[in-house]
Amino acid sequence: MRKGESTRALIVARAAEVFNVQGVGGAAISDIMAATGLKKGGIYNHFASKEELALASFEHATAVLARRFAPVWEEQGVNVVRAFIETFRGYAQRPPLAGGCPVLNAAIDSDDTNPALRARAHAVAEEWQERLAAVLRGSQERGESRPEIDAVALASVIVASLEGALMLTKLSDDPQHLQWAADHLLDYLERAVCC
Amino acid sequence: MRKGESTRALIVARAAEVFNVQGVGGAAISDIMAATGLKKGGIYNHFASKEELALASFEHATAVLARRFAPVWEEQGVNVVRAFIETFRGYAQRPPLAGGCPVLNAAIDSDDTNPALRARAHAVAEEWQERLAAVLRGSQERGESRPEIDAVALASVIVASLEGALMLTKLSDDPQHLQWAADHLLDYLERAVCC
Amino acid sequence: MRKGESTRALIVARAAEVFNVQGVGGAAISDIMAATGLKKGGIYNHFASKEELALASFEHATAVLARRFAPVWEEQGVNVVRAFIETFRGYAQRPPLAGGCPVLNAAIDSDDTNPALRARAHAVAEEWQERLAAVLRGSQERGESRPEIDAVALASVIVASLEGALMLTKLSDDPQHLQWAADHLLDYLERAVCC
Amino acid sequence: MRKGESTRALIVARAAEVFNVQGVGGAAISDIMAATGLKKGGIYNHFASKEELALASFEHATAVLARRFAPVWEEQGVNVVRAFIETFRGYAQRPPLAGGCPVLNAAIDSDDTNPALRARAHAVAEEWQERLAAVLRGSQERGESRPEIDAVALASVIVASLEGALMLTKLSDDPQHLQWAADHLLDYLERAVCC
DNA sequence: ACGCACGGGACACCCCGTTCCT
DNA sequence: AGGAACGGGGTGTCCCGTGCGT
């Protein structure tokens, strides 16, 4: 790897956390400077603007998320859903990124500004739901799950519950909300699966 | 009401929406000026600082929320929970405030800055959960609900699911997520209640 | 005078010296900040850009020059020329502006950039020459000076000699060059006048 | 001449013009790059810093001047002075260096910065005056010139007049000023010489 | 009570000089 | 010798909060 690329990777990695904690609008380049140890010139050598850096940083954040969730999609059948829930539960002890779930943050943080960033967050959330829905539908087709359940709806509920619990956990600084949500979803899943 | 007070009320009402949409840090006084038609002097006559205005605005936002939820707490027994869920479902068509749920926004928007604002949002979320938990516990004590359910946990799950669904709705601009979450919770509730 | 106007006048007065010493391109806004005690916002409140400030500053510089030279034009006949030379000679002890003659500086400093500034400097130099030439021509018409002398040329020589001597004085830090030039011109004038 | 030396000579020659036109502070390395066709690394291979390049460039500029003035000092007696004036007059049609007289430019351009450059310019101006003064003194000693004239002062006046006229010519883009100054000096010289 | 101008401060982006690596 | 990379400074803009005038 060339010198510049490793520097660029460093910037992106640090900036991803800074942006995730402070928001894109709330973070100044000086914060990125402090986090990376580089000066302004060194940062603007790799990115034309703050927005470009923000986009690359979010891309990095989603890549970190993807790496965390990679084992989830390796599971078989409904175990995918269980692994997804457990992985989310792990956010409490071992967050993939400082500042919480980047999807949640990006959804709220960027209102109208940064439509690109918002689109990326949307894409990640959609991918999660689609994958979960596909697994649930497959389970139904194999007769392992109750057919009257709306797979798409359940996938949405799973993601929503976990993200919402993450928010409550962040707000109250109490990881219990995440545990409750995970337990609730697993419990609900048991009844939906067994037939 | 004196002249000044009505002006103050106007400022707070408009500022609440502006802050809810753009965030406290992202909103400039000039935005408040545009929203109220007043000039800077007119605003700073009523509030010492932007932060003070933000606090008063959030107070206003919670008051609006409280008014919206007032009928909920008038219900009897578990109907309180059902009414709570339905009220949340109504967010999609008729949001109490432009920009979405102020609790959700405040939870994400204010990371470390504005600890007072964060505390207020936390208090609202806690109040919701405590009231729902109390209702559920009362229902259990009266033998109307299954005793093995953790009332506090369920209250947390309800709030988390709805707030999370609100986030997904905002992210995808699709109110369906909220519907799914509400349906799911009502469905779950039915099974918990009937015995 | 309103508050802002006095501030503006202060900025212009200080900036005129800074620009005259360091040149427009060589002077940073931070130098103006240090010279005025104001911060950047306070300066840019009064001027849209550095160039606009530079123009206003040069306008101030020419006004200072005009005030210094005002008594010169009050003189009668060829005494105007003598007074002009003596006033220039006074530059050595009491420069009208720190950094030397703004006309000389502007002529060299602004090569292609700042054509407006260059035009102003040109106008001042032209005015001097025209006034001197008019005086000399009047003297010739009254028969007080030798008619074979080219008034326009002599006016040019006077200004050129004094500005050039000013340059040598600046370069060698020796006011003698200015004295020599003044003495030479006065001596030459004597022979041209008496007939 | 080795390859590197010819490159160095090319850089110096081009840079001398760039610096003479834009000033040392006003010229960027990128301007030198554009003028030479070299890249930054190619330039910094030969010069440790911009200032060192500026100094070498000014040295080159003075060498060009010296070559132009070499025939002047070959003349006999007061003809040296006449040749000096005529050579200066030739500046208008055939400037030795783009951007005007480097002595004049250096005197104004470098205020405090680049004291070395200033010293070089001073040395050139002094050398001119001393040589002219020596010639004039020699003429007086030989009884060819009026003894009451201050040779040193006249030398200063000659240089000052010509440099000042050069400035006016540059400012007004009219070579006439230079002609007038030359004519005036020659005319004055005639009267000083004849006895 | 409200408008406006003013000043302080921070920030994004740009450009330049210099060094290092190739 | 080329070119990327980095440090530093500079410009213009925005915003917050204050004070004066109305």
Rounded average pLDDT per 10-residue block, chain A, 195 residues? 82 96 93 95 94 95 96 96 97 92 88 83 97 97 93 98 97 96 96 77
Does residue C15 reach within 7 angstroms of strand F, measured from its CB?
Answer: no
Nearest nucleotide to the CA of A44, by C1', is E13
Long-range contacts of C59-64 (CB under 8 A, 24+ apart): C59/C12, C59/C120, C60/C12, C60/C13, C60/C16, C61/C16, C61/C19, C61/C20, C61/C97, C61/C102, C62/C102, C62/C120, C62/C124, C64/C16, C64/C96, C64/C97
> Residue A165: which of A111, A88, A66, A72 has the closest Cα?
A88
- In the structure, how far is the CA atom of residue D26 from the C1' atom of nucleotide F9, in angstroms? 15
The answer to whether B93 CB is within 7 Å of strand F is: no
pLDDT at residue number D163: 98
Nearest-angstrom CA–CA distance, B87 and B82:
9
pLDDT at B1: 47
Distance (Å) of CA D99 to CA C2, C16, D94, D123: 45, 25, 12, 20
Is the CB of B25 less than 7 A from some atom of nucleic acid strand F?
no
Rounded to the nearest angstrom, the minimum Cα separation between B17 and chain A is 13
**What is the model's pTM?**
0.90
Residue A26 to residue B21, Cβ atoms within 8 A: no
- CA-wise closest residue to B165 among B154, B176, B156, B155: B176
Cα–Cα distance between D71 and B181 in angstroms, integer? Answer: 98
Of A21, A25, A181, the CB nearest to B160: A181
Instruction: Dig out the tokens for D106 from the structure.
Output: 């250096």
pLDDT score at B3: 58
User: Chain F bases under 7 Å from protein CB?
Assistant: 1-21
For residue C186, CA distances in Å to C86, C174, D180 come to 9, 20, 18
Q: Report how far residue A77's alpha carbon sits from residue A81's, in angstroms, rounded to the nearest whole number.
A: 8
- D80 within 8 A of D72, measured Cβ to Cβ: yes
Confidence of residue B13 (pLDDT cuts 50, 70, 90): very high
Considering chain B, what is the average pLDDT of its residues?
92
In this complex, the chains that touch A, judged by 3 or more CB pairs closer than 8 A, are B
How distant, in Å, are the alpha carbons of A96, A163, B78, B103, C106 from that of B157? 23, 11, 16, 16, 75
Which chain D residues touch C122 with a CB distance below 8 Å? 171-172
How far apart, in whole angstroms, are the C-alpha atoms of residue C145 and residue C135?
Answer: 11
Using CA coordinates, name the residue in chain B closest to A119. B171
Whether residue C23 and residue D22 make contact (CB cut-off 8 A), yes or no, is no
Do the Cβ atoms of C144 and C78 come closer than 8 Å? yes
pLDDT of residue A108: 85
Find chain C residues with C-beta within 8 A of D153's C-beta: 180, 183-184
* Torsion of Cα atoms, D54 then D58 then D63 then D66, to 10°: 180
Candidate from B5-9, B128-132, D42-46 with smallest mean pLDDT? B5-9
CB contact under 8 A, A180 and B170: no
Enumerate neighbours of D (3 or more CB pairs within 8 A). C
Nucleotide nearest to C25 (CA to C1'): F10
Q: Return the pLDDT at A187.
A: 94
Confidence at residue B38, expressed as pLDDT on a 0 to 100 scale: 93
B27 touches strand F (CB under 7 A): yes
Total beta-carbon pairs less than 8 A apart between chain A and chain B: 137
Q: Which of D108, D156, D171 sits opposite C121 (nearest CB)?
A: D171
**C-alpha separations of B63 from B21, B137, D13 in Å:** 17, 27, 77
Residue A101: both structure tokens together: 């779930």
Q: Which residues of B make CB contacts under 8 Å with A?
A: 21-23, 25-26, 99-100, 103-105, 107-109, 111, 113, 118, 121-122, 125-126, 150, 153-154, 156-157, 159-168, 170-172, 176-177, 180-181, 183-184, 188
Percent of chain B scored above 90 by pLDDT?
A: 84
| Residue–nucleotide distance: B48 CA to F17 C1' (Å) | 9
The minimal CB distance from C111 to the residues D22, D156, D184 is found for D22
pLDDT at D5: 78
Q: How far is C115 from chain D (nearest CA, A)?
A: 11
Calculate how close chain B gets to A56, using CA atoms only, in Å.
20
Does the nearest atom of strand F lie within 7 Å of C50's Cβ?
Answer: yes
DSSP string over A78-141: THHHHHHHHHHHTTTTS-SSTTS-HHHHHHHH-SSS-HHHHHHHHHHHHHHHHHHHHHHHHHHH
Give the pLDDT confidence of C12-71 residue by residue, as tens digits. Answer: 999 999 999 999 999 999 999 999 999 999 999 999 999 999 999 999 999 999 999 999
3-state SS, chain C, equals CCHHHHHHHHHHHHHHHHHHHHCCCCCCHHHHHHHHCCCHHHHHCCCCCHHHHHHHHHHHHHHHHHHHHHHHHHCCCCHHHHHHHHHHHCCCCCCCCCCCCHHHHHHHHCCCCCHHHHHHHHHHHHHHHHHHHHHHHHHHHCCCCCCCCCHHHHHHHHHHHHHHHHHHHHHHCCCHHHHHHHHHHHHHHHHHHHC
C1' of E7 to CA of B32 (Å): 22
The 3-state DSSP class for residue B134 equals helix
- Label residue B195 by pLDDT band (50, 70, 90): low
Q: Do residues A83 and A71 touch, judged by C-beta distance below 8 A?
A: yes
Chain A residues within 8 A (CB-CB) of chain B?
21-23, 25-26, 99, 103-105, 107-109, 111, 113, 118, 121-122, 125-126, 150, 153-154, 156-157, 159-168, 170-172, 176-177, 180-181, 183-184, 188
- Backbone conformation region of residue D100, classed left if phi is above 0, alpha if psi is from -120 to 50, else beta: left
Q: Decide if C188 and D188 are in contact by the 8 Å CB cutoff.
A: yes
pLDDT of residue A113: 75
Is nucleic acid strand F under 7 Å from A9's C-beta? no
Nucleotide nearest to D3 (CA to C1'): F1
Q: Does the beta-carbon distance from B172 to A125 stay under 8 Å?
A: yes
Q: What share of chain B is helix, strand, coil (3-state, %, to 5)?
A: 75, 0, 25
- How far apart, in whole angstroms, are the C-alpha atoms of residue B186 and residue D146? 120
Closest CB to B104 among A25, A167, A177: A167
Structure tokens at D92: 């208008």
Question: Of the candidates C53, C3, C58, which has an alpha carbon nearest to the alpha carbon of residue C28?
Answer: C53
B and D touch per CB criterion (3+ pairs under 8 A) = no
pLDDT in tens, C91-138: 999 999 999 999 999 988 866 678 888 999 999 999 999 999 999 999
pLDDT (0 to 100) of residue A3: 74
Among all strands, which nt has the closest C1' to B30 (CA)? F15
- Assess whether chains C and B touch, using the rule of 3 or more C-beta pairs within 8 angstroms: no
Confidence of residue C146 (pLDDT cuts 50, 70, 90): very high
Q: Compute how many other C-beta atoms are within 10 angstroms of the C-beta atom of residue B139.
A: 22
- Provide, in whole angstroms, the distance separating residue D67's CA from nucleotide E21's C1': 42
Which phi and psi (to 5°) does residue D20 adopt?
-70, -30
Q: CA of D139 to nearest chain C CA: how many angstroms apart? A: 19
Which residues of chain D are under the pLDDT cut of 50?
none
